[in-house]
A and B are shown apart, each in its own frame.
Chain A
């Protein structure tokens, strides 16, 4: 996490189980927060190709590089496909599958924290002391 980040609560951790996603609006910026196998990730909800709402796409796996005629399906739940043109992105890095070095979606850090009910940043929903909260860091 860099020094200049601001932190925003997304939801209670229990509301974002593995495989789930939540799209939030933070100061006009649409961001998708994902729980992939118990780890949280966030991507800007804009596909770098033609600006489609990337995070509304299908969460899926992909076929790994293989020999002609061979299919190696893997990474179930770690890939999102853009709802328009089907471009595949790695949710865990934001990088595209077809050209990870050049084409990527903006990604953000996410953490899960215990928050006290006195925390002033919690405006949008009530949190009890026991709740873990998913925090997005921009």
Chain B
């Protein structure tokens, strides 16, 4: 080809960096440690970039990626008997634009959990990851692993386009109830992918603002599950609210009960006070535990929500906002302590009758 015959200007060539620091060295310093360049338009991330700095594995691997090290660095170090695994980075399957891809990644993740983690130690208990945006496929995924006693619950993203009390989710609850598995939700995907904005009034600006307000999504789902009658339709279903906070629950229970007295005619399928459904069907995990100036105030909240049957300890290892099992919770009476740290989880996940435990 004769290059001299015509002259060319190409008006779109994509140049890039070999290492992100080639760009970030020009950024104002206050962004350091919070840099996600450049395609990720979500709020820049937190304190330590997502995970505990001291949880990198001995071989330099990602925190939480080495079963032996996790056992040593976390489970054995704190005297933790069983750990319920909730995965990492996998919950976004539910907010992916392509449901077929979401379904297959969820399935692949569950195979990975079996192969790498559940085979490592009976002290690891698995969660079946599902894509809640395709409830029929999610139910099939639950059926695939539901008879494996090493899986003790179903887990899905708390972010959604629709509230979880809606009928489209029934196949998930039906399958979970069929296998005696609780359904857990976990935050982190709010405002991302196909999910709605993280607040009813739109997006947030910073990670801190986002993290502060995640509980409104949890309040919305719990409200929806109760009012829509999900627990009347699926009386054996248990629903676990992971990492969504605790101190908001008294307000929600009281407000729902007050409204029920005046407005129950619109939800005649509710046979008892909304708070009673919550106490019977909803569990909350502790981390990140609220830290009021006076820790006794949190102990009082524990009383208000009957924490002996609703609250279960969680650490969130190895994420940056990890709670130390020996230090994070407020002072609790011995019986309450035993319930929160062990008994409620042992009952919910039926460890006593589990042949694998």
Interface residues of A (CB under 8 A from B): 50-53, 56-58, 60-61, 63, 71-73, 76, 81-86
Contact = CB atoms under 8 A, between A and B. Distances in A.
Contact of B30 (A53, A63, A83, A84): A63
Contacts of A73: 28-30
B70 to A, nearest CB: 16
The secondary-structure label for the interface of chain A is loop
By secondary structure, the B interface counts as loop
Interface of B: 28-30, 32-33, 46-48, 52-54, 320-324, 326-328
B29 A86 contact: no
Contact of B324 (A52, A60, A72, A86): A52
Nearest to A70: B30
Contact of A50 (B32, B47, B48, B324): B324
Contacts of B321: 84-85
A61 B320 contact: no
A63 B208 CA distance: 15
Contacts of A83: 48, 52-54
Given A58-B33, A84-B320, A51 B48 contact: no
Contacts of B326: 51
B324 A71 contact: no
Nearest to A81: B47
Nearest to B55: A83
A71 B30 contact: yes
Nearest to A87: B47
B78 to A, nearest CB: 11
Given A83-B52, A86-B48, A50 B327 contact: yes
A51 B33 CA distance: 23
